[in-house]
């Protein structure tokens, strides 16, 4: 066959394949156009999962009568004029191919009136060709109706899923826009049923409640607005745990600032897949496994292995720093300095979590009320939280912590009689369902011990039950990391070197990890065959039987299923601390419990153990009063 140029319709249909994959893509393109047109009220209606009909109505600027046909030409756009404009895009569209593509695979009806014009236009197209055109009255704005999508592309039609599935994709698209544009009103009706609606209040929390439901939205933390600038400007973000997050260093290599805002789920809100991490750059939704990983990594030790956090993250960056023209659907973007974005996101999320992670609260019975007015995450602003942190740091730094602890100790001594509790364990709900809102760890007074496993404390608002093992793990973990960071890890030399006879699996792990073990204070060397000679251990293990402690730790390493999949070092620290921590079933003296609580209060992440499980649960004074029928 000789080479020839394809007819426009064929070329358009081929190109359409890239832009219009399914009815949800039609919705995405049309809503983007409405947003670019400045619409504040966007109504989406679909039938049969969008296959039968997709209609998007907006109150935007409309299309001038003289341009309605042009809008359907390929590469026809009002949004950019030159290649230069590509480097500072402020609109969602710019390729000028959506309408042409959609019109080539469906029947399209356009009704539009430009705000400045008296009379509007009604244009009908099928298979990309104009069928009719007339003047038509109507409100300013645009209504585009797309019917029988892919009717002329059987290959595509075959791949469409059930109507309900396609409607699900559409709902996902609309909710993402609603999250990115809380000040605009969205409405989605599917087969006559209202699937989604946002109020356009301008408050992201309102949209979160609509998208995720009140219960889940309650467990989300405002990360405020965090800005990252040049290297060195955010040195205060140097958190201990980051010594263990094995991302490559991400220095800021240029002066562009990156602003990160949004909401992240409290650690207890974890999910089984990454689908709950939603990312936007300059209000454009995008997909990026690396940036999603920055979020996941920020939850390091806070959520259990194999579980993923919930997050809605907005990155704002100079448009010149991000290329959105990587793919026709613009789902992927390319950052000029992706490392800087990675670092900014990771730090912002981590900081928010450390400052605001809530204590899981126990409710014996009733669910919290479903009143959206009771939803309060926005009440604590970043500034307020920062104020709290400063106060806490000041207390810690000035020895104020000691004073506080001292006065609490006195209080505790006055009240040390044993207390017995009958807690109906079966009524303890999942912490997820009752998250209390951000607070620093409250000042706690030790009341007693329960079942030789939990420390019972009184706080400003009711009772706190601390899991002594989990709490001690957290304390030791942070102490260990701090000592390592300061290169002051306490090491206990063994007077007599210990010979470890290992099985082949254990020996293989040790052979691989000699250096890492050494860094953690376990000086170990080959001693022939599968035997190893140990000359020192970390001091926190010094009260233990070194033989069994080391074998347990090595076995843990061999199983390799702890905390961060890619870091043996992190796994090793966790294992050492787990072994060294006081066990459940160990009777503690009041002084020991007070010491544990005092040290937990000084932790950066006191509310979870290094495995991400809660260290404490809270039974509020109100809940107690309710249980006793006092209110």
Nearer to ligand ADP, 170 or 349 (CB): 170
Does 120 participate in binding ligand ADP (rule CB under 6 A)?
Answer: no
Beta bridge partners of 112: 121, 142
> Which residue's CB is nearer to ligand ADP, number 79 or number 133?
79
Determine how β-strand 311-317 pairs with β-strand 277-281.
Answer: parallel
Q: How far apart are CA 120 and CA 59, in angstroms?
A: 13
Task: Select the span of 71-79, 182-190, 499-507, 543-551 touching ligand ADP (CB under 6 A).
Answer: 71-79
Q: Using the rule CB under 6 A, is 21 a contact of ligand ADP?
A: no
The residue from 96, 442, 497, 518 that contacts ligand ADP (CB under 6 A) is 96
Q: Which lies closer to Mg ion via its Cβ, residue 93 or residue 377?
A: 93
Kindly state the helix (H) or strand (E) to which residue 174 belongs, with its residue range: helix 163-180
According to CB under 5 A, which one of 27, 37, 54, 98 is a site residue for Mg ion? 98
Closest CA to 170 of 44, 270, 350, 256: 44
The partner in contact with residue 79, picked from ligand ADP, Mg ion, none with C-beta cut-offs of 5 to 8 angstroms by kind, is ligand ADP
DSSP 3-state assignment of 599? helix
Q: Hey, which residues between 121 and 160 contact ligand ADP (CB under 6 A)? A: 142
Longest dimension (CA), the chain: 99
H runs (alpha helix) in 486-567: 504-512, 514-519, 546-559
* Counts of helices then strands in the chain (DSSP H, E): 18, 24
Our finding on whether 78 is near ligand ADP (CB under 6 A) is: yes
Measured from the CB atom, the residue of 103 and 444 that comes closer to ligand ADP is 103
Q: Is 424 exposed, middle or buried (0-12, 13-18, 19+ CB in 10 A)?
A: exposed
Looking at the Cβ atoms of 62 and 182, the one nearer to ligand ADP is 62
Question: Which lies closer to Mg ion via its Cβ, residue 32 or residue 467?
Answer: 32
| Window 507-566: residues binding ligand ADP (CB under 6 A) | none
| 572-574-578 Cα angle (round to 5) | 120
Name the residue among 517, 501, 95, 110 with its Cα closest to residue 327: 95
The mark string for 15-54 relative to Mg ion (x by CB under 5 A, - otherwise) is ------------------x---------------------
Candidates 5-13, 53-61, 176-184, 404-412 — which segment interacts with ligand ADP by CB under 6 A?
53-61
Please give the residue whose beta carbon sits closest to ligand ADP in the complex.
93
Q: Which does 190 bind (CB under 5 to 8 A by kind): ligand ADP, Mg ion, none?
A: none
How would you label 113-142 residue by residue, b for 16+ Cβ within 10 Å and e otherwise? bbeebeebbbbbbbbbeeeeeeeeeeebbb
Strand partners, 313: 262, 279
Residue 181 DSSP code: -
The whole-angstrom separation of Cα 280 and Cα 96 is: 22
Please identify the residue of the shown chain whose CB is closest to the bound Mg ion.
Answer: 93
Minimum CB separation from Mg ion for residue 79, in Å?
8
79 binds ligand ADP (CB under 6 A): yes
93 binds Mg ion (CB under 5 A): yes
Task: Report if residue 93 touches ligand ADP, rule: CB under 6 A.
Answer: yes
Count, residues near ligand ADP per rule CB under 6 A: 23
Q: Please list the residues that pair with 248 across neighbouring strands.
A: none
Binding residues among 436-455 for ligand ADP as defined by CB under 6 A: none
Scanning 93-101, 139-147, 329-337, 440-448 for contacts with Mg ion by CB under 5 A, the matching segment is 93-101
The pair of three-digit structure tokens given for residue 368, joined into one six-digit string:
């919290």
CB 182 within 8 A of CB 198: yes
Q: Which residues bind Mg ion (CB under 5 A)?
A: 33, 93, 98
Residues in touch with ligand ADP (CB under 6 A):
29, 33-34, 37, 58, 60-63, 71, 76-79, 93-100, 142
């Amino acid at each position: 066959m000789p080479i020839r140029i394809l007819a426009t319709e064929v070329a358009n249909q081929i190109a359409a394949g890239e832009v219009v994959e399914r009815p949800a893509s039609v919705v995405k393109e049309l809503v983007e156009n409405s947003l670019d047109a400045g619409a504040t009220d966007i109504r989406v209606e679909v039938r049969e999962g969008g296959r039968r009909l997709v209609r998007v109505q907006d109150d935007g600027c409309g299309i001038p009568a003289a341009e309605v046909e042009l809008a359907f030409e390929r590469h026809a756009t009002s949004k950019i004029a030159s290649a230069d404009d590509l480097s500072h895009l402020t609109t969602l569209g710019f390729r000028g191919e959506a309408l042409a593509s959609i019109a080539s695979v469906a029947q399209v009806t356009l009704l539009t009136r430009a705000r400045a014009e008296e009379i509007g236009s009604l244009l009908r197209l099928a298979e990309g060709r104009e069928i009719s055109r007339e003047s038509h009255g109507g409100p300013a704005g645009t209504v585009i109706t797309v019917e029988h999508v892919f009717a002329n592309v059987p290959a595509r039609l075959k791949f469409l899923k059930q109507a309900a599935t396609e409607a699900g994709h559409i709902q996902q698209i609309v909710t993402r826009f609603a999250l990115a544009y809380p000040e605009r009103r969205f409405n989605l009706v599917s087969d006559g049923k209202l699937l989604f609606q946002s109020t356009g209040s301008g408050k992201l929390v309102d949209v979160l409640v609509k998208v995720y439901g009140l219960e889940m939205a309650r467990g989300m933390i405002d990360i405020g607005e965090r800005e990252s600038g040049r290297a060195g400007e955010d040195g205060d973000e140097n958190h201990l745990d980051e010594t263990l997050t094995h991302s490559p260093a991400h220095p800021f290599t240029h002066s562009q600032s990156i602003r990160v805002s949004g909401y992240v789920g409290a650690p207890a809100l974890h999910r089984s897949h990454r689908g709950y991490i939603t990312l936007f750059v300059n209000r454009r939704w995008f997909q990026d496994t690396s940036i999603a990983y920055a979020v996941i990594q920020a939850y390091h030790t806070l959520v259990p292995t194999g579980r993923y956090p919930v997050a809605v993250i907005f990155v704002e960056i100079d448009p010149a720093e991000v290329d959105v023209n990587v793919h026709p659907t613009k789902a992927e973007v390319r950052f000029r300095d992706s490392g800087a974005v990675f670092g900014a996101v990771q730090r912002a999320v981590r900081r928010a979590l450390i400052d605001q992670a809530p204590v899981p609260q126990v409710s014996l019975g009733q669910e919290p009320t479903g009143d959206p007015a009771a939803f309060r995450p926005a009440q604590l602003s970043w500034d307020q939280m920062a104020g709290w942190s400063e106060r806490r740091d000041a207390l810690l730094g000035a020895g104020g912590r000691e004073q506080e602890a001292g006065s609490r100790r006195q209080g505790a001594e006055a009240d040390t009689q044993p207390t017995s509790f009958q807690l109906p364990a079966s009524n303890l709900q999942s912490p997820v369902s009752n998250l209390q809102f951000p607070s620093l760890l409250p000042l706690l007074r030790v009341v007693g011990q329960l079942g030789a496993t939990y420390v019972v404390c009184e706080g400003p608002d009711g009772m706190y039950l601390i899991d002594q093992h989990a709490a001690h793990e957290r304390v030791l973990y942070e102490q260990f990391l701090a000592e390592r960071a300061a290169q002051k890890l306490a090491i206990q030399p063994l007077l007599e070197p210990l010979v470890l006879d290992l099985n082949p699996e254990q020996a293989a792990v040790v052979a691989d990890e000699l250096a890492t073990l050494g860094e953690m204070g376990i000086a170990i060397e080959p001693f022939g065959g599968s035997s190893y000679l140990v000359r020192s251990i970390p001091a926190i293990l010094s009260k233990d039987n070194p033989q069994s402690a080391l074998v347990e730790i090595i076995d843990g390493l061999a199983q390799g299923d702890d905390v961060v999949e890619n870091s043996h070092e992190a796994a090793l620290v966790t294992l050492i601390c787990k072994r060294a921590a006081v066990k459940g079933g160990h009777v503690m003296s009041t002084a020991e419990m007070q010491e544990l609580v005092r040290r937990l209060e000084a932790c950066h992440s006191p509310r979870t153990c290094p495995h991400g499980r809660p260290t404490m649960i809270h039974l509020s004074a109100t809940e107690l009063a309710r249980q006793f029928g006092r209110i």
